[in-house]
Chains A and B, each alone.
Chain A
Amino acid sequence: MTISAIDAAPSDALIQTDHAPAISASNVSKRYGPVSALEGLTLDIHAGEVFGLLGPNGSGKTTFMRLLAGYLLPSAGRLMVAGHDVVGDSLAVRRHIGYVPEAAPLYRQMRVGEFLAFMARLRGVPERNVKGAVERIVDRLALSAVVDKPTRALSRGYRQRTALAQALVHDPDILILDEPTNGLDPRQIIEMRQLIRSLAGRHTVLISSHILSEVEKTCDRVAVLLNGRLLGVRAMADTPDLEAWFLSLT
């Protein structure tokens, strides 16, 4: 079973550097008491690109994503998503994003179709469009075999795909995926990678990973984080040897 590629287009043409960034972080910090999870991060992510956050566990990737998704609030700095401030206009930000947390959480008591309909309604899809939106996303992510199954009975691959479906069901501008290939088998990883690539252009996609090859094969640009600090940003086209660059930074 394969995931259908949607609106696939050559990625090189999709980095719209002449437009306002989809995501703009200016000197953003996040502290938990005395512990600093993110320190003075400044970064622009362009509309339509697939952007990778690379770094070891605890480097601040998840914290940054949670800040973008509105789950956490920054301790300092300014963070703009789709032209809205995550602090001052959090609800507007959340209308523009789809977010898949690292654990890919699902409501265990719901069936897949029921869960997607619930998330569609919650994310503001008008009632008359909910059924169509769910059918489209089920078809798009090849979930029809499990649509009537309880989410607690899903395999890891289907769990991840259902989590991605809930993030896409309202057709958001920006997609934030925290470790989207975590726990998937090699075939599922390839399918997920193809899917993410197919989203470029129509959606801005931000993914995090600690696997170099994943970022290399999926992203247009990549940022390296370590201990909450941004060490560098590069376009993949300008980085023939990601491993060497990564090692030189860390």
Chain B
Amino acid sequence: MRTLRILFAKELNATLTSPIGYTVAAVFLLVLGYTFSLTLFATKVANLQYIFHQMYVLSILLVPVLTMRSFAEERRSETLELLLTAPVQELSIVLAKYAATLTLVLGIFTLSLVYAVILDRYGEPDWGQIHAGYLALALHASLLVAVGLLMSSITENQVVAAALSIGIFLMLWFADSVSYLLSPPFDSLALNLSLIGHFKPMVSGSVFVSDIGYFITASMLALFLTTWRLAQR
């Protein structure tokens, strides 16, 4: 546990001292602010659903920028050799990177709460739906960070890691569209893999255990594979 804490502190410090995190946060909030103002003035409805969908898309594009460095940079600069020859479990290294990146993403998401506060000030938003929406976003971020780390662990090229991550996210996003082209049982398999298929109900306020299970299982699987990849010597 002490090792995990030490590694987490190191990763969080690296994340917070890197300009990448701030750039991503700035782009994220700028786009969200623009969308929020536009939607609010156009619809005059106290609803954050549109914003949540916007955050879903932006996360898919921006989380790979945060995760691409994680292992790829350590491998390129050969500091991974220092970590893997210290008395440290591979799982601790993976969990520390996962927790640090997820903390940053959730921190950026938290800043968007200002929109909920504005809606509450001037209207009567459905807070149940907003809570469900943030739960969906947190689970979505967990999956994206875990898969992003996995992609970063298989290459020492950061751009390749980011491209692979975005590719996988887009495939998962559109998996439900592909399901119409497939025959049983592959159609239901593709449908169940769909990222948006599990995200949408929660953002609408319908929280199903199966949807939560999807995000948690996919995150754990990606973290397991990342650990396994690191253990390959």
A contact set with B: CB distance below 8 Å: 66, 69-73, 91-92, 94-95, 97, 99, 101, 103, 105-109, 118-119, 121-124, 166
Residues from chain B with a CB closer than 8 A to the CB of A108 are 77
Q: How large is the interface on B (under 10, 10 to 19, 20 to 34, 35 or more residues)?
A: 20 to 34
Within 8 A of A (CB), among B70-92: 77-79, 81-89
Q: B88 and A122: CB pair below 8 A?
A: yes
Interface status of B131 (Cβ within 8 A of chain A) = no
Q: A71 and B85: CB pair below 8 A?
A: yes
Residues from chain B with a CB closer than 8 A to the CB of A95 are 87
| Min CB gap B112→A, angstroms | 28
Q: What 1/0 flags go to B118-134 for Cβ under 8 Å of A? A: 00000000000000000
Measured CB to CB, the nearest residue on chain B to A87 is B233
Residues from chain A with a CB closer than 8 A to the CB of B13 are 109
7 closest A-B pairs by beta carbon, nearest first, are: A105-B78, A69-B85, A94-B87, A73-B233, A95-B87, A122-B86, A105-B79
Contact of A123 among B79, B81, B87, B233 (CB under 8 A): B87
Q: List 15 A-B contacts (CB under 8 A).
A: A69-B85, A70-B84, A70-B85, A94-B86, A99-B81, A99-B85, A101-B81, A105-B81, A106-B79, A107-B14, A107-B79, A109-B13, A118-B10, A122-B6, A122-B86
A97 to B6, CA, bound (A): 20
| Min CB gap A193→B, angstroms | 24
Q: A119 and B82: CB pair below 8 A?
A: yes
Q: A71 and B10: CB pair below 8 A?
A: no
Residues from chain B with a CB closer than 8 A to the CB of A119 are 82, 86
Interface status of B18 (Cβ within 8 A of chain A) = yes
**Which of the listed residues B18, B78, B83, B85 has the most CB atoms from chain A within 10 Å of its own CB?**
B85
Contact of B85 among A94, A103, A107 (CB under 8 A): A94
Contact of A118 among B6, B17, B81, B89 (CB under 8 A): B6
